[in-house]
Amino acid sequence: MSIKEKLTSILFGPKEAEPAPEQEDPRVLPEQPGEEPESSFLPAEDPALLKLSADHPLQQLYTIRRRESGYLPTPRLCMDEDGALAPEVINREKARLQSGLRTASAFRLKSIQNQNKNADKAKRSKPAKDGEEPDKEKKPVGLDAYPWIFLSADKLYAWVLVFPPTGEGRELTRELLHQAMEDQGIAYGVDERVANRLPHHENRYFTLFLLAQGKPAFDGRNGNIVDYVPRVIERVLEVDEYDQVDYTALNLIRNVKEGQEICRLIRPTEGEPGRTVLDQEIPAKSGKSVPLPKGRNTEISEDGDALVASVAGHVEFTGRSFQVKPVLEIPGNVDFSTGSIKFLGDINIQGDVLTGFTVRAMGSIWVGGVIEAGSTVEAGGDLTVVKGILGDGTTTVRAHRCIFSKYIENATIYARENLQTDAIINGNIYCDGEVLVRSGRGTIMGGRIWAAKKVSATTVGSRSECRTSIALGGLPCTNFEREQVQKELEELEMELERLECQLDSPVKASLISKARVKLNTAALRLQQLEEDLEDIKEELRDRGEEGRLECAVAYAGTEISIGDEITRLRQEERHCVAKMVCGEIVVM
C-alpha cells in the first residue's frame, strides 16, 4: 500500500471493495442494439407487388395529396390482386411498369410544381389597390384527377393508376376514366366492375388496378402419329433366376394380319386467334400436318387417318416408314417335303433345318428346333435358334444383324451385330459387335472367336488346355467375306483349268466363257473388299478402338490376339480382363 493510500485510509476510513464484475455466460450471445429476433414465419414476398424508393416521385405526390385531404390510404401497387396472371407475365412487365410509373409520376409532379409557380407569379403581378381588400374567395385553378393507363408489351393487359386532383381540380369520375380509355384505345376486355366502382372506391388514388384483359392467341397443335407397333425392337435377352435364357420368348417378330392398323394419324388443329385490349386481332398459327410413314405392303385407310397392312406378315420400321414383310410359316422341319427355301420376307420354322438344306431370307429367321450339320442358313435380319446349332465343320450360319442361339458347336458363324449364346464349342465365329456367353454354362471351348468390340464369357478354354483363340478388334465380317471370295476365286481357277484340259467343243467354249466372267467378277469383288478393308483399318487405327476380353475363368492354353500382338496364357487366370495397353496385351 502506498503512503497516499495509508493517509486516505486514516482520514476517511477503509475503501469499500468494489463488487466483482458479473461473469457472462459464454452460451448466451450478447444482444445487438436495435436487433429483433428473427421469426421463422415471415410472410413470403409477393412477386406482383411493386416497391417504391423513398425519393420516388409517387411518394412526393402522395405527401402533397395527404396534406390537402388530411387522410389518405397507403399506396398499394400490386399487379395481380386476384392471382389470375401467369408468373411469366408479371416478371416480363414488372420492370416496364416500374419505369413507366416513375416517368408518369415525375411528369405529374412537374405539372403541379409549374402550376404553383404560375399561381404565385400571377398573385405577385396583380397587387390589391389602395382601399381594396384582396379576393380571398378566388383560388388557383388546380389539376383534374388523371387516370394513367399502362399497356403490356403484347397489348393483352391494361392497368390503371389514378393520380388525385389538386386545387379546384375535379375528382375522378366515370367520364374521366372513359375519356382516358378512349385516348389509349382501350376497347376490348374491359372489366366493367372495376371501371364502374373505381370512381367511388375508397382507395381509388395511388392504387394499381387491372382494368382490361385481352384474349391470347392459341396456336394449333401439330399432327402426330400414334404407333400400335414399336418402331425399335429391343434385342436384349433376359436371364431368369436359374441363369437360363428362354429363346422361345424373344418376340423379335411382330406379326400383323391383313387390314390390321399399324399406326394412326392425329390430325393437326386450327389455331385460335386472340384479341388485344386495343381490339386488334392476334393471328394464330395452325398446326403442321405429318405424313403417315407408308412403306412396302402397307396402305392408307379410306378416311386417311390410319396406316394398315395390305398383306399378312411381319411389321418393321426402316427408319422412315413401316413396311410389312410377308412371313413364311413352316409348321415342321425343313426337309425333302419343303426343300431348300429362299424367301423375300421373314421365315418361321417350327422344327429343325436338316442336313444338306439351305434357308435364305431377306428378313429375320426363327428356328424352333436345331440347325443340323451340313446345312446353310442366312438371314438378312436377326436369326433365332431356340435349341441350338449343331454342325460338323461345314455348317455356315450368317445373319446381317444379331444371332441368338442356345448353343453353337462345330459351325462357322457370321454376325454383323451381336452374338448371344449359352455355349460355344469348337466354333469359328466372326462378329462385328459383341460375343456374349454369360447365360447357362457360359463356356467358350476350342475354335476361334473373333469379335470387333468385346468377348464376355464365364469360362474360356478348358482344364485340358484345349486350344481356344480369342481375336479382338479389327473387321471380322469383312475378313470373313474376303476369305469366302478368295475360296470362291480358287475354286473358279481350278474349274477353269479343268475345262481347258477338255477337248474343244462348243459346250467347252461356252463353259469357259461363263467361268471367266465369274472369275473376273470375283477378282473385282476381292479387290474392292481389300481396298475397303485398308480404308476402314486406317480409320479404326486413328480412333484407337480396340476390343477386350472379360471372363470369370481363363484356362491355360487360351490364345489372345489384338491386332498384330498375340499372347498365350501359361496359367489359369481368375476374373480375367485382357486389353491393349501401350501397344501390349495386358491380362489383369
Q: Give residue-wise pLDDT tens across range 399-446.
A: 999 999 999 999 999 999 999 999 999 999 999 899 999 888 899 999
User: Which pLDDT score is estimated for 33?
Assistant: 39
Share of the chain above pLDDT 90, in %: 29
The single-letter code of the amino acid at 397 is V
Domains of the chain: total: 4
Q: Round to whole Å and give the CA distance between 466 and 461.
A: 6
Q: Round to whole Å and give the CA distance between 411 and 394.
A: 7
Q: In three state form, how does the secondary structure of 307-369 look?
A: EEECCCEEEEECCCCEEEECEEEECCCECCCCCCEEECCEEEECCCECCCCEEEECCCEEECC
Q: Is 99 in the same domain as 209?
A: yes
Q: Is 151 in the same domain as 62?
A: yes
pLDDT digits (tens, 9 = 90+) for 455-481: 999 999 998 888 899 998 888 888 888
Q: Is 78 in the same domain as 156?
A: yes
Contact yes or no for 409/425 (Cβ under 8 A): yes
Instruction: From 141, 162, 177, 147, select the one nearest 72 (Cα to Cα).
Output: 162
Contact yes or no for 294/204 (Cβ under 8 A): no
Q: Is 296 in the same domain as 380?
A: no
Among 16-25, 162-171, 224-233, 333-342, which stretch is predicted with the lowest mean pLDDT? 16-25
Q: Is 406 in the same domain as 555?
A: yes
38 belongs to a structural domain:
no
224 belongs to a structural domain:
yes
26 belongs to a structural domain:
no
Q: Is 494 in the same domain as 569?
A: no
Q: Is 278 in the same domain as 313?
A: yes
Q: Is 426 in the same domain as 552?
A: yes
The single-letter code of the amino acid at 137 is E
In 3-state terms, what secondary structure has residue 275? strand
25 belongs to a structural domain:
no
Among 241-255, 401-415, 424-438, 549-563, which stretch is predicted with the lowest mean pLDDT? 241-255
How remote is the C-alpha of 85 from its chain's centroid? Answer: 30
Q: Is the pLDDT of residue 129 over 70?
A: no
Q: Round to whole Å and give the CA distance between 244 and 247.
A: 9
Q: Is 561 in the same domain as 506?
A: no
548 belongs to a structural domain:
yes
User: Which pLDDT score is estimated for 534?
Assistant: 73
Contact yes or no for 79/97 (Cβ under 8 A): yes
Q: Is 229 in the same domain as 350?
A: no
Question: Which of residues 197, 213, 229 is at a domain's end?
Answer: 213
Contact yes or no for 388/408 (Cβ under 8 A): yes
Q: Is 65 in the same domain as 182?
A: yes
Give Cα separations from 72 to 65, 382, 423 (angstroms): 8, 84, 92
User: Which pLDDT score is estimated for 136?
Assistant: 47
Question: Which of residues 277, 301, 325 is at a domain's end?
Answer: 325
485 or 541: which leads in pLDDT: 485
Q: Name the range with the highest mean pLDDT among 19-33, 51-65, 233-247.
A: 51-65
User: Which pLDDT score is estimated for 41?
Assistant: 37
User: Which pLDDT score is estimated for 409?
Assistant: 93
166 belongs to a structural domain:
yes
356 belongs to a structural domain:
yes
Q: Would you state the torsion angle of the CA atoms of residues 56, 52, 205, 187, taken in this order, to the nearest 10 degrees? A: 100
Q: In this structure, is the dihedral angle defined by the CA atoms of residues 277, 279, 280 and 282, taken in order, positive or negative?
A: positive
72 belongs to a structural domain:
yes
Question: Which of residues 291, 325, 359 is at a domain's end?
Answer: 325
Averaged pLDDT, 122-138: 56
- Cell numbers at 207, concatenated: 392504387
Among 106-120, 175-189, 191-205, 345-359, which stretch is predicted with the lowest mean pLDDT? 106-120
User: Which pLDDT score is estimated for 483?
Assistant: 82
**506-543 and 476-500 helices cross at what angle (nearest 10)?**
160
Q: Is 525 in the same domain as 384?
A: no
pLDDT digits (tens, 9 = 90+) for 288-326: 999 999 998 899 998 889 999 998 888 888 888 998 888
Domain residues for 420? 326-475+543-583
